[in-house]
Structure 1
Amino acid sequence: MLVRHTLTILAVERLAESVAFYRAAFAWPEAVETPVYVELALPGGQRLGLYEREAFGRNTGQVPARVPAGALSTTELYLHADDLEAAIAALEAAGARCLSPRAPRPWGDEAAYFADPSGNVLVVARALGA
């Protein structure tokens, strides 16, 4: 049996703000657009879905809990960047909140941690020595 990861969907508070944030930070093109859901096409064929939190319950039967302002969700997106400095600068320019600056991590990556406008954790990283 082959199981592949193709899509990650995040519940977001304000869809337009989240789409603008991810487009500004990474310039990923929109692949799907509806009034409550947008899917961005990532390099390599994966996609990132941004689903308005209140509408998310249409699929699950439950609306995800609201993340209080300044708090973090339980989601972490871990992204490898070929140009880590540029990725960090793009996130900062897009308005990401820095959680932990770029540093060597014990698992062999150099990584910086940020939060998106809805409190989802984003990590941009590269292998140490790359």
Structure 2
Amino acid sequence: MNNVSATKPYQKRRRFSPEFKADIVAECLEPGASVSRISLENGLNTNMVRRWINEARRAPKRSGFVSVALPAATSAPSNQSVPDKRSTIRIEIPRAGGSVVVEWPAEQAHQCAALLRDLLG
């Protein structure tokens, strides 16, 4: 009698970056999102994703504001001494631990664009 045995090859434990985990958690926290569906779509174990969600909720919250050093402003005309909301660029990026908010003077939009290219590039 011939006995045939097959062993499952050793699978190395997968590691996920904090950014990937944060993206999955953020997607799961959207209103109406199904943790099971999101897990299956990404080839993940649902229990593991639920653990990531619990860990994210227990993590200390950060303010979400980024301090950015701006070059010295040129002298503005006296009628524009106080900038209004329309002359400010505001970018809010939602993250699992809180939003990142960047506010930038509209007259320096090219510098804001350069910062975003550096961050995203």
The TM-score range, normalised by the shorter chain, is: under 0.3
**Could you say which structure has the higher helix fraction?**
2
What's the TM-score once normalised by structure 2's chain length? 0.23
What's the TM-score once normalised by structure 1's chain length? 0.22
**Could you say which structure has the higher strand fraction?**
1
